[in-house]
Amino acid sequence: MFKKIKRHCEKQTTSAPKQSSGFKQKTILFLAFALLLLFIPLTPLAADYTQIPPPTIAPPTAAPKTYKAKLEFPVNKNYFYLMSYGAGISDPLSIAYITRVKTTMDVNTIFNDRMDRVLIPVRYFAESLGYNVNWDASSGTVSIIAVGTSVSMQIGSDYLIKNNEIIKMDEPLQVQNNRTYLPVRFVGEAFGFDVYWDAPPQRVLLYQ
């Protein structure tokens, strides 16, 4: 019986090292796998992003501006033209107008050589567009009133008041030949016109 017990103990002592060796192998494999995970990037590197160019988005193309009316004031002449373009045009120098009305004035337009400015009679400009013109003799103030826009100027002043906004001009409002003259560029832009100077025929063009 003693011998049987001894053999049983010998079997247990010889099998223990096998279990310990297997555990060590599993532990080593686990640690190796854990270390491997530490060196594997979970997300792409920053360099990977820089290698891919961003998508190119074309800027929106602005629709060409269209004009429906034009005023034409030849310099040192006693007439001007009002033209209509119907549905509108995008070329300011186009001559494809629908109607062209010539209006004769009792005075000429004036070209100021010193300031390089064209002056036109206030009343003819305003009334040709259907605007109302008011004259205050006591203060020497002329007012032009249109839908949504009111412009007032005083004789001798180089300031223009548009809807309570003060705009500095480089040429004052003045009286000549019993007519009140204003700088065409400033008053035109105040009413939303694009103002062009056509040099060879010496004329001012206002588009709206």
Give residue-wise pLDDT tens across range 50-69.
455 566 666 666 666 666 67
Structure tokens at 119: 């002056």
Residue 42 predicted with pLDDT over 60:
no
Name the DSSP class of 2: H
Report the distance separating Cα 76 and Cα 118, nearest Å: 9
Contact status, residue 88 vs residue 68, Cβ threshold 8 Å: yes
Nearby residues of 152 by Cβ (< 8 Å), 6 or more positions away: 141, 142, 143, 144, 160, 161
The model's pLDDT over 124-176, given as tens digits with 9 standing for 90+, comes to: 999 998 999 999 999 999 999 999 999 999 999 999 999 989 999 988 888 98
pLDDT given for residue 198 in this prediction: 85
| CA nearest to 81, candidates 99, 103, 109 | 103
Predicted TM-score (pTM) of this structure: 0.64
Query: Rounded mean pLDDT of the chain?
Result: 78
pLDDT given for residue 9 in this prediction: 46
pLDDT tier for residue 2 given thresholds of 50, 70 and 90: very low
pLDDT given for residue 103 in this prediction: 94
Q: What is the mean pLDDT of residues 84-112?
A: 78
Q: What is the mean pLDDT of residues 39-44?
A: 56
Contact status, residue 182 vs residue 124, Cβ threshold 8 Å: no
Between the alpha carbon of residue 164 and those of residues 48, 129, 149, 169, the distances in Å are 58, 22, 10, 15
CB atoms within 10 A of CB 129: 16
Domain 67-207 classified CATH 3.30.457.10?
A: yes
